[in-house]
Structure 1
């Protein structure tokens, strides 16, 4: 099911992001769980890793440990990107598709569709949709979806569009 087909018509994508309020926190540890994608997904994730920006929303790239072509980070505490994750359960949740879940919003920024999720601890996580691989971005503590998310997603859009083709990602 494509959750983005149910977005209210005429609602600007950035307005969806800006309408999300709240602060976020992320695990500030120096390590990140590395995804284990299938071979097809791994190839596009490696392509993404090569074209990711050295600076994102004013933060220098500082990849987390363990080093991997499937993870990247910017700043300290880091904005964390993971490529090749499994599909988030909320991506097919009818409540999200209908706009009835205040903690999950479907929207697009600069030609990339995202599922924007507020986690139980208040942090924000963004996952690409309608691409052949799922790319997940987590904001660290102190960054909000409203103030910082738009800059982060705008900064990542060119790399995602270049490396991750549109399509349906593997279910796993």
Structure 2
């Protein structure tokens, strides 16, 4: 990520505040057991190398759910719980990062942009890192952001800060 992509610092919110916002946005949704299928990002080679290192560091379980990577298989994607938690590395900068109303939180030593998605769980994207890491949670996790606590150590170790 170049200096032209520097982001303004989003106000950090405690995990509980993010969880409350997520819960209210997704109340009434029901879970699905479908295996995830995702679009594989196509980052520049330097970012792809960071994503490969991240792939090696990712945990086998997140929030008690076993690893079940989405299709198509790639070092740029990972998943847990047959689509409950899906990670994509090397994604483009989310347009919401320019939104003054965006929620931001520091979870597990990593800053995250929080996007609430109607009819689904939240999407979190790392900020201030050399590549963007996106974690989408389905409605099973609409009430909390704790899966990020299991993922953040790997992001922190493999994807250096951009500042």
2:20 is matched with: 19
2:99 is matched with: 93
What whole-Å deviation, never above 9, does each CA across 1:110-147 have from its counterpart, x for those lacking one? Answer: 21000111113342101000111100011123321x33
Distance change in 2, residues 1:63/1:116 (3 Å): same
> Hey, what's the Cα distance between the residues in 2 that align with 1:164 and 1:75?
24
Aligned-residue CA RMSD in angstroms? 2.1
1:54 is matched with: 60
**Which deviates the most, 18-27 or 109-118?**
18-27
1:33 is matched with: 39
User: How does 1:124-143 map onto structure 2 within 5 Å?
Assistant: 124-143=122-141
2:115 is matched with: 117
> Hey, what's the Cα distance between the residues in 1 that align with 2:153 and 2:51?
14
Distance change in 2, residues 1:141/1:94 (3 Å): closer
> Hey, what's the Cα distance between the residues in 1 that align with 2:151 and 2:38?
19
> Hey, what's the Cα distance between the residues in 1 that align with 2:82 and 2:162?
33
Distance change in 2, residues 1:29/1:58 (3 Å): closer
Aligned residues: 152
- The DSSP-based 3-state class of the residue aligned with 2:104 is strand
What whole-Å deviation, never above 9, does each CA across 1:75-115 have from its counterpart, x for those lacking one? Answer: 1243100000001001111232xxxxxxxx11111210001
TM-score calculated relative to the size of structure 1? 0.79
Offset of residue 17 of structure 1? 2.1
- The DSSP-based 3-state class of the residue aligned with 2:52 is helix
Structure 2 gaps of 5+ residues are 1-6
Contact 1:28–1:140, Cα closer than 8 Å, also in 2: no
Distance change in 2, residues 1:2/1:26 (3 Å): farther
